[in-house]
Amino acid sequence: MDVLSGIYNNHILITSSYAWVIAQVLKVIFVFLNKRKFDFKRLVGAGGMPSSHSSFVVALSISIGKKLGFDSPEFAICFAFSLVVMYDAAGVRRAAGKQARVLNAIVEDMQSTGKVHQEKLKELIGHTPIEVIAGALVGTITAIII
């Protein structure tokens, strides 16, 4: 029970989790504003505006900085970790999403000729740089306020 109590009382983890939840809820709101439909899959899905990964890691870094100092080794580790996560979100995972789009077009073409039965790949797995920056902003604001 001490472990659960420790997690529940971990202000840094709670703040980071709030940033993630806020970003995920914002995704549902932005989809509704753009498409006039509620897509509750966006609450748990990757990709989209803003990046919840960026929100989480930036809130984590800023919370660590506020608690232990922005000159602490812990902040440096979190900051470096945040950069890697955000680079991955905007770079590697976005490229994988583009590849999925091309592969899905090939599969659709092959399905129309009746030569293959393949399920479509998930295309929305990465972020644009703006989505990553917006996620970082959500994380920053959350960490400052909470």
- Considering the domain architecture, whether residues 45 and 15 belong to the same structural domain is answered as yes
Please indicate, yes or no, whether residues 107 and 76 belong to a single structural domain of this protein: no
C-alpha–C-alpha distance, residues 19 and 47, integer Å: 15
Range of the domain at 51: 2-85+129-145
Q: Are residues 73 and 120 in the same domain?
A: no
pTM given for the model? 0.74
- Name residue 37's amino acid: K
Judge whether residue 121 has pLDDT over 70: no
Name the pLDDT band for 88 (thresholds 50, 70, 90).
confident
DSSP 41-53: GGGT-SSSSS-HH
- The string of pLDDT tens digits covering residues 7-26 is 889 999 999 999 999 999 99
What CA–CA distance (Å, rounded) separates 32 from 20?
Answer: 19
Q: Quick one: 78 and 134 in the same domain?
A: yes
Q: How sure is the predictor about 94, in pLDDT bands with cuts at 50, 70 and 90?
A: low
**pLDDT band for position 73 (50/70/90)?**
very high
